[in-house]
A = this chain, B = another copy of it.
Amino acid sequence: MRLANLATIVRGLHLLGPTTRSDLVRRTGLTRSAVGDLVAELTDRGLVHEVPSEPTGAPGRPSPVVTPRAETNVVLGVEIMVDTVAVAAVGLGGTLLRSVRRPREHGPADVDRTLDDVAGLTSDVLDSLTTPSALFGVGVAVPGLIRRDGATVATAPNLGWADLHLVAALRPRLASDAPISVLNEADAGALAESRRGAAARRGNVLYLSGEVGVGGGIITGGHQLTGSTGFAGEVGHLPIRPDGDECRCGGRGCFETEIGEAKLLERAGLDPAAGAGAITDLLERSAAGDADAVRALEEHGRWLGFGLSGLINVLDPGVVVLGGLLRTLHPHLERPMLDTLDRHVLADIRAGTTIAPSALGDDAPLLGAAELAWDRTLADPTALPTPLPRSA
């Protein structure tokens, strides 16, 4: 009971920012005494502090603003991508304190080498924190299928990983007992965007991440949709074209084969394996009026709309956030995409749906990993943090 009340207060502060004590009373429905008591405990624990409120002009005794202590209470977000590895320290309340991203070599990745890199980055990030802090958890976003345990990577095709207990592999390198949890990269993106990004405060969100493959993160009713085995959200393998290209999943005409980077390049008559640079080039040519480029983007947008239509009819997400490559492409795909949506999405559902590019950009999955790391504390603020590991 007390625990639940502590949790709602901390959760509210983390998600909605500093709040006056009297607002907390209104928001929680508790009495002033109860809130006072709970805030006192949180202050003792060092999670929050109270600062005098700005003069507001309203009558009555001013209420102090309960503020999360971001600098001394941190989690780590880790993002392991095909091209880069990134680590961020995020304070309570969602403040990004520090973040580092480092490119790495392509192709099937050596697990040990990658995790050593991660460990190096975490030390860098933690060492650069000026205030002595407590570490509440670590979240790791990986482009692959993560089991429900939040610890094991079932498969990560783009990394060449399979059946890897990532938590067990990472723990010894972090020199910390902080809880580590793993999630899918698109799920992380969805989480971040739904808390602080383009879908802030929305309980139903579909996040589409167009990187090498196409991943999806789904939030319904305020909760991440994990599915029975933890693999839900594989929108990249929604079949939408019976006579389409073969997909690496073994199927044919998957969403991913139609709206992936390679297909866009192919549509423009370019080398499908040319990579991100060629995309930039393509966009410039389109802006310059190149007919092939314009037509390729037009067609790409229609296919994006076609696949999205089904997802929207099934999930009724309210907000669709386009991340990764799709965020870059968004302005160029928007018109044909929306036209197709108007045709295929049921009118009643279409009316309640907006499509927005990611607001957090390339850092969305990284910040989402950090948000996941916060979740344990938000559910139980009495869970103790671990002391900050310091190298040497």
Contacts and interface: CB of A to CB of B under 8 A. Distances in A.
B316 A231 contact: yes
Contacts of A251: 309, 343-345
A229 B344 contact: no
Nearest to A206: B314
Interface in A234-253: 234-235, 237-242, 249-252
B348 A229 contact: yes
Interface string A342-354: 0111111101110
Contact of A315 (B202, B232, B242, B249): B232
Given A240-B310, A251-B309, A306-B239, A315 B227 contact: yes
Given A203-B228, A311-B314, A343-B250, A348 B240 contact: no
A189 B317 CA distance: 22
A154 B229 contact: no
Interface string A6-26: 000000000000000000000
Interface residues of A, number: 57
Contact of A220 (B225, B241, B310, B347): B225
Contacts of A231: 316, 346, 348-349, 352
Contacts of A230: 316
A343 B250 CA distance: 6
A197 interface: no
A318 interface: yes
A319 to B, nearest CB: 8
A314 B234 contact: yes
A221 interface: yes
Contacts of A235: 313-314
Pick the most buried of A145, A202, A348: most chain B CB atoms within 10 A of its CB: A348
A239 B340 CA distance: 11
Nearest to A226: B221
A241 to B, nearest CB: 6
Contacts of A344: 237, 239, 249-252, 254
Contacts of A242: 240-241, 306
Nearest to A244: B242
Nearest to A233: B314
A250 B347 CA distance: 9
Interface of A: 1, 145, 154-155, 202-204, 216, 218, 220-221, 223, 225-235, 237-242, 249-252, 254-255, 306-307, 309-311, 313-319, 343-349, 351-353
The 6 tightest CB contacts between A and B, nearest first, are A227-B316, A228-B318, A238-B310, A232-B316, A251-B344, A204-B228
